[in-house]
Amino acid sequence: MPTPRILIVEDERIVGFNLRRQLIGMGYDVPMAVASGTLALDAIEEVRPDLILMDINIEGELDGIATAARIPAEYHIPVIYLTAYSEDETIKRASATNPYGYLLKPIAERELYTMTQVTLARCHAESALRVADERLREARKIEAIGQIAGGVAHEFNNILGIIYGNIELLGDQTDGEPILAALLQEMFSAAGRGEKLTQKLLAFSGQQLLQPDAISVSGFVSKLTAGLLPMLGESTELRVDLPPDLWMIGIDSEEFEAVLFNLASNACDAMPNGGRLTIEARNETIGDESAMDHPEVTSGRYVVLTVTDTGLGMPQNVLERAFEPFFTTKPVGRGTGLGLSQALGFVKQSGGQIRIESTPGLGTRVLLYLPAIIENVAIAERPTAIDADPVAQKGEVVLVVDDEPTVLKQVTLLLTKLGYQTIVAVDGVAGRALLTSAARIDLLLTDVIMKNDIDGVELAREARLCRPGLKVLYMSGYTRNALIRDGIIGPTVHLITKPFRRSELALKVREVLDAG
């Protein structure tokens, strides 16, 4: 912890000299003692003290009280008044500036030491509280934006699902029509860009579908450096310091790669004339006590990966908004403003945290706290592609329930193309009626969140009561992570996330129907 710095404002030269000598003897940094309010304000800007001892009655245009009133409030510098007088009117004026205390002259050394220590301790506690409050406000703001972003992404996924489905259905009719096929391909590509955008929103809101892999950070990042070199160019130096004994982490490798490339891209943009990009990592154990220095990180073992550049850096007003989605300082067309917000959502959803440190003109450092794997964990296998879509077996019937009419129609058409017989319901109430009246139902395919009194989860519960053993597949524009986190569904249920292609629907329906 740096030595506290104290500024003395006293126009009696001998008093100021003695105070400075005493405080230095107590171990404080006392760079100067000034004799007027004007000099005091200049000194405050120059040395930024942690505490000011201010004589009330100083010569010049500004007395001590007027000087204290002009100290910028955002500096949060505590003031202790020095005075040989105690008139009510003077004390009343002084109180309006919210001083931390008063010392009456002549000042005893014990009183000086005690008041100084108490004031600095109080100021330190208040500073820590301000930082904690600011972090809490920022976290709540980011959380609120994330909820909005997740809701928007959910609605867009419904829309994109309709677009994808209809493009695929139209594609079946384009034999011998190359122009139409080309137009549909352009539409499909545009929808894909829209899907990537919604995935970034879901990443920021911590709702994307992750498939963690057991990763060696040293090996993983080393393989990526070859891909970074063309991005950096000849004027930028790349330094990599990755100890071989780094702990393993459990994280989605594809998303992790995207985050690292995005951070490297940001660093390059911040170094238009070249510079140095450094990627390094270390093992760090954060205990309950050291967690006080990392209030945004819970106790545990982490691999801390840092990406540092020597670029332009960010001023405080930009740094405070760095994680906001769609906030960017880049020219129009150069960035979406979702890179850092996506990184934040991904790292937090993976059980870690991300911090940014930046100084204008000196560069930026991004720290990723990635939780280490303590025990063997089950890593999800990524699906492998197959040559043809699996189709229905003879007579299989699917009950499709969705309160969005266009989605209902599109999903029904896709299933029909795959050979399934379908019956449809526009909401949970209609679905419940069909469960009791239909002759055969092999699968209930239902949206999770629906209007009216019965949502997909309640409908599935009732379905299993009246048709024991009925297979259930949920579909939703929200991801599995979001639905599990909010307690809507359990981790073992079958779910297909919108938007989905016909091949994805075919695979998932077949998987559920064939399951034991």
End-to-end CA distance of the chain: 63
pLDDT at 203: 62
Instruction: For strands 300-309 and 212-216, give the pairing.
Output: unpaired
* Angle between helices 253-270 and 217-232 in degrees, nearest 10: 40
φ, ψ at 313 (rounded to 5°)? 75, 175
Q: Is a pLDDT exceeding 60 seen at residue 165?
A: yes
pLDDT at 378: 45
What's the pLDDT band for 1 if we cut at 50, 70, 90?
low
% pLDDT > 90, the chain: 37
* Angle between helices 109-171 and 178-204 in degrees, nearest 10: 160
Neighbours of 26 (CB within 10 A): 15
pLDDT digits (tens, 9 = 90+) for 29-79: 999 999 999 999 999 999 999 999 999 988 888 999 999 999 998 889 999
Q: Report domain 397-514's class.
A: alpha beta
pLDDT at 35: 92
Whether 203 contacts 345, CB under 8 Å: yes
- State the average pLDDT over residues 412-418: 90
pLDDT at 291: 45
* Angle between helices 428-437 and 456-466 in degrees, nearest 10: 10
Q: Report domain 6-107's class.
A: alpha beta
Q: Is a pLDDT exceeding 70 seen at residue 112?
A: yes
Threshold 0.85, pTM exceeds: no
Q: Taken in order 173, 176, 182, 183, is the CA torsion positive or negative?
A: negative
Q: Is the peptide bond before 371 cis (omega within 30 degrees of 0)?
A: no
Q: How far is CA 235 from CA 272, 276, 309, 314, in A?
A: 9, 9, 13, 21
Q: Is the peptide bond before 4 cis (omega within 30 degrees of 0)?
A: no
Query: 212-371 belongs to which homologous superfamily?
Result: Histidine kinase-like ATPase, C-terminal domain (3.30.565.10)
Q: Regarding predicted confidence, which is higher, 248 or 299? A: 248
Burial of 16 per CB tally in 10 Å (0-12, 13-18, 19+): buried
Which segment of 29-33, 117-121, 336-340, 360-364 scores lowest on mean pLDDT? Answer: 336-340
Which segment of 29-33, 218-222, 336-340 scores lowest on mean pLDDT? Answer: 336-340
